[in-house]
């Protein structure tokens, strides 16, 4: 993915509502330029989860990620 400007993030509350998800944090402010790793030095955000089994935590993380939609404008 080439660098771009983060314009919008949707689905955060839906992602937070999934069982085993503790929080979803977007760490790049809207309007900031995203530079993909390894060239960039920031992650877009983080999804935190905990559960009784690794498989359920992985499934929750994947489901939460699927809820998120990012609008990134070329830039």
Rounded to whole angstroms, how far apart are CA atoms 73 and 19? 32
Q: pLDDT, tens digit, for every residue of 13-55?
A: 999 999 999 999 999 999 999 998 888 888 899 999 999 999 9
Is 29 within 8 Å of 35 (Cβ atoms)?
no
Give me the pLDDT at residue 21, please: 98
DSSP-assigned beta bridge partners for residue 25: 46
Give the mean model confidence (pLDDT) for residues 1-8: 89
Top pLDDT among 11 and 37 is at 11
Q: How far apart are CA 55 and CA 63, in angstroms?
A: 12
Beta strands in 1-75 (DSSP E): 4-10, 21-26, 33-34, 45-49, 69-74
Q: Quick one: pLDDT at residue 1?
A: 66
Q: pLDDT grade, residue 7 (50/70/90)? A: very high
In this prediction the pTM is 0.88
Among residues 11, 29, 20, which one has the least CA distance to residue 51?
20
């Amino acid at each position: 993915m080439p660098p771009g400007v983060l314009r919008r993030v949707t689905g955060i509350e839906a992602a937070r509502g999934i069982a085993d998800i503790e929080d979803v944090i977007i760490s790049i402010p809207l309007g900031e330029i995203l530079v993909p790793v390894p060239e960039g030095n920031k992650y877009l955000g983080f999804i935190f989860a905990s559960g009784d089994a690794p498989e359920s935590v992985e499934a929750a993380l994947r489901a939460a990620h699927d809820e998120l939609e990012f609008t990134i404008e070329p830039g």
